[in-house]
Structure 1
Amino acid sequence: MKIDRIEIGEVAIPLRTPFKTASRTVDAVNNILIRIVTDSGTAGYGEAPPTALITGETKASIREAIMQYIAPSIIGMEIFDLDTIMQRLHASIVNNTSAKAAVDMAVYDLYAKTLGQPLYKVLGGAKRKIETAYTISDNPIDEMLRDSMQAVQDGFSILNVNVGKQRLKDVDSLLAIRKAVGPGIRIRVEANQGWSPQDAVRIISLLEDKGMQTELVEQPVRAHDLAGLKFVKQHVQTPIVADESIFSMKDALHIIQTQSADLINIKLMKTGGIHEALKICTVAETYGVDCMIGCMLESKISVSAAAHLAAAKNCITMVDLIGPSFYKIESYEGGPLFTGGTIKLGDANGIGISAFPKAHFKKLGVIK
């Protein structure tokens, strides 16, 4: 069974409310989608969001990377020759990790479909249900309280709260949310590189002193500031997660060996897809380090792929896949079932997606 063609398009899905972090505000998901079709007609699906502030990619660069470099390198290859496909994919162009991730997950989707199994089973997993956090945007306190209470009402027991814009005032927002939702809700803090190392230690220490019971703090300092990240970890009790600081297995190994963070956040758009994410999981398992899996305002295709990886790997103990609950519409067919804070993996082959979305989709081209 050979790769016959790769179809590429784009989707625009409005969000229910704007997504706000310390670094950006987004009103809609505007992502590149691909479909890899074999000579037998079987199709696999992939997706890439343009997240220029993190990966350096735009819609135009993702489209060109796939059409001009990645797709031509793997057209005509046998789908079961997975290792060679991945070697060619990653050698076709440097960086461009989101473009690579879209093709990677579509290949894995196809691979699992040809084996007649859900992807999580092919990857060695047996979990059929995982629990995800709900992301709270960085807004004025009254809006953050409203969104937090609504998320709890909708069935989420874990909140991932975005802060980082106001430094010490972030403490007030977080304490207000804790008081509103009560002690039974797990709260994670996503600082989005918004603090200096000194401010991070001051803020996290204040939260600890005031009984915030923060489950973890994610990427408190700039991605390149590994010394600052380690400084924060050494001076607080709350677990520290490295997110934007880790793209590759090499990055993960360095963070772990230097003890610069307690946990690792895997995102397929940073790693370049499932193939490289599995290497990070192997490193984490070797050193006994837990991982989180997250996403970058992706729609159901790539969120589903990430959910399958989370269900397959025991080292992934924390999930932040906001999924379709964040969007005004959801026009995909198939995939895992998102109900409140629960993601249920089904029995469908591959990642479970069976077609491009029916609405808000535009076809861009075909590579043969």
Structure 2
Amino acid sequence: MIIRDLQVNRRKVSLRVPFKTALRTATEIENIEVSLTLENGMIGKGAAAPTFIITGDSSEGIEAALIGPIKNELVGSDITHFQTLLQRIQTCCVGNTSAKAAADIAVHDAYCKLLNIPLYAFLGDKKNLKTCMTVGVDTPEKMASDASKSVDDGFQTLKVKVGANPELDIARIEAIRDGIPKTIKLRLDANQGWRPKQAVQLINEMERKKFNIEFIEQPVASYDLEGLKFVTERVGLPIMADESLFSTKDTLKLVAGRYIDLLNIKLMKCGGISQAWNIASIAEANGVACMIGSMMEPALSVGAAAHFAASHPNVKYFDLDAPLWLSEKPDVLIYHGEEIQLSDLPGIGGV
């Protein structure tokens, strides 16, 4: 079944409220949609969103990669040469992980529609998914209020953004902890906002205060792997890599050198489902569990990540709340509080 065309559409989607981290404040996303049309008229869909400060990918760059080298590799090819196409997406240009992810998702979607099965069925499992809810960085009082609302909405695990002002971070967590039940788990994401020694001091104090923290995500700069290892070796709480992890090569280095305890996989960073699967498998072979994460990105790409997460046995943690921040209702995932229901339609689902 030949791929006859690849089309790209760009549109902006506003957020319900601003999303604040130590790296940026976002009020909208630009949704870059990819459509692959097969000769029988079936359409496979993929999507990406630029996160310039993390991936280095701009909207213009993502679109240029899709309608340039990626389109040249896919159009005229047979979708049943599935693995070959996925490999060609990864090798047709350097970098451009967000564009590669969008194309990889579209190929998966088209192939599963051709087979008339949901993506999770093609990947081979469907475990239950429960996402955390993110609490953006802000004043201690505002973060405590946001955390309390999320708990009222049914979330038992909160991902708390810190790092924008390290001197305030203990106060932020104390305010949140005082306003929610002790049973609610916290995950802290510093988004590279701490220095190594500072991170150790902060985390040790949090451990003494027994804040019921599950793990700490990316405490130091992405390039500072020795600093990451310094923190990992000196605190009791598990340390997770996020911005330090893009590729299978990064995975090999991080797990073999024991720089971290956990890995956060994001499709926009690694280039799609095929690469995410390889990362999770390498980590599994080294006894390192993974989380599936998401940028502030379209529901379609988060849906693809959810199907992957439901299928791979080494994805143990789930951070897939991005669609709940968007002003438009997701059509490929259904949220019941923290529980995520996958579509049983062919491919990723949706229209």
TM-score (norm 2): 0.98
Contact 2:30 2:50 in 1 (8 A): yes
* Distance (whole Å) between structure 2 residues aligned to residue 130 and residue 11 of structure 1: 29
- Counting only pairs closer than 5 Å after superposition, residues 6-21 of structure 1 correspond to structure 2 as 6-21=6-21
Contact 2:135 2:147 (8 Å CA) reproduced? yes
Residues 36-79 of structure 1: CA deviation (Å, up to 9, x unaligned) = 11011111111111111111111011111111111111111111
Report 1:172-191 matches (<5 A). 172-191=171-190
Q: Residue in 1 aligned with 2:347?
A: 350
Find the counterpart in structure 1 of residue 81 from structure 2.
81
* 8 A Cα contact 1:300 1:323, kept in partner: yes
Q: Spell out, residue by residue over 1:73-99, the C-alpha distance to the aligned partner (whole angstroms, 9 max, x if none).
A: 111111111121022211211000001
Distance 2:48 2:6 in 1: 14
Shift of 1:140: 1.1
Gap regions ≥5 residues in structure 2 = none
CA distances 1:227-278 after superposition (whole Å, capped 9, x unpaired) = 0000000000000000010101110111001000000000000110011111
- In the alignment, the residues of structure 1 paired with residue 10 and residue 336 of structure 2 have an alpha-carbon distance, to the nearest angstrom, of 26
Identical residues among aligned pairs (%): 41
Instruction: Return 296-305 or 80-89, whichever deviates more.
Output: 80-89
How far apart are 1:212 and its partner, in Å?
Answer: 1.0
The Cα of 1:137 is off from its aligned counterpart by 0.6
Verify the 8 A CA contact 2:48 2:298 in the aligned structure 1.
no
Contact 1:159/1:187 (CA < 8 Å) preserved in 2? yes
Task: Quote the Cα distance in structure 1 between the aligned partners of 2:77 and 2:335.
Answer: 34
Partners in 1 of 2:39 and 2:192 — Cα distance? 46
The aligned counterpart of 2:215 is 216
Give the C-alpha shift of residue 108 in structure 1.
0.5
- Structure 1 counterpart of 2:236, which letter? Q
> Is the contact made by 2:184 and 2:212 (CA closer than 8 Å) also made in structure 1?
no
Q: Tell me what 2:318 maps to.
A: 319
Higher relative contact order, chain-length normalized (CA < 8 Å, sep 6+)? 1
**Residue 154 of structure 1: aligned partner:** 153
Match of 1:359 in 2: none
- Asked whether the equivalents of residues 168 and 203 of structure 1 are also in contact (C-alpha less than 8 Å), the reply is no
CA distance in 1, matches of 2:15, 2:146: 14
Contact map agreement 2:10 2:33 (CA 8 A) in 1? yes
Paired position in structure 1 for 2:31: 31
Q: 1:325 aligns to what SS in structure 2?
A: helix
Alignment partner of 1:336 is 2:338: no
**Across the two proteins, how many residue pairs are aligned to each other?**
351
Deviations 1:192-241 (A, max 9, x none): 00000011001100100111121000000000100000000000000000
1:107 has 2:104 as partner: no
C-alpha separation in 2, matches of 1:248 and 1:209? 35
CA RMSD of aligned residues (A): 1.0
Q: Which amino acid in 2 is paired with 1:230?
A: K
How far apart, CA to CA, are the structure 2 residues paired with 1:168 and 1:290?
31
Tell me if the contact between 1:163 and 1:191 (Cα under 8 Å) persists in the aligned partners. Answer: yes
The alignment partner of 1:120 has SS state of helix
Q: Tell whether the 8 Å contact from 1:45 to 1:353 is kept in structure 2 after alignment.
A: no
The question of whether the paired residues in 1 share the 8 Å contact of 2:12 and 2:29 is answered with: yes
**Aligned-residue offset at 1:10:** 1.3
Report whether the alignment pairs 1:97 with 2:94.
no
For the 8 Å contact 1:35–1:45, the answer to whether it is kept is yes
- Residue in structure 2 matched with residue 301 of structure 1 by the alignment: 300
Looking at structure 1, the residues matched to 95 and 324 of structure 2 have their Cα atoms a distance apart, in angstroms, of 31
Asked if the contact 1:160–1:190 (Cα under 8 Å) also holds between the matched residues in 2, the reply is yes
Amino acid at match of 1:346: S
TM-score by length of 1: 0.93
Q: Is the contact made by 2:105 and 2:304 (CA closer than 8 Å) also made in structure 1?
A: yes
Q: For residue 3 of structure 2, what is the aligned residue in structure 1? A: 3
Instruction: Give the structure 2 partner of residue 118 of structure 1.
Output: 118
Q: Report the Cα offset of residue 20 of structure 1.
A: 0.5
> SS in structure 1 opposite 2:44?
strand
Residue deviations 1:261-313 (CA, integer Å, cap 9, x gap)? 00000000011001111111110221121100111101210010000001001
Gaps of 5+ in 1: 355-368
Question: Aligned residue for 1:357?
Answer: none
> 2:53 corresponds to which residue?
53
**SS of 2:86 mapped into structure 1:** helix
Aligned to 1:80, the other structure's residue is in SS state coil
1:155 alignment partner, SS class: coil
Partner of 2:66: 66
C-alpha distance in 2 between matches for 1:315 and 1:160 = 20
Which portions of structure 1, spanning 4 or more consecutive aligned residues, are displaced by more than 4 angstroms? none
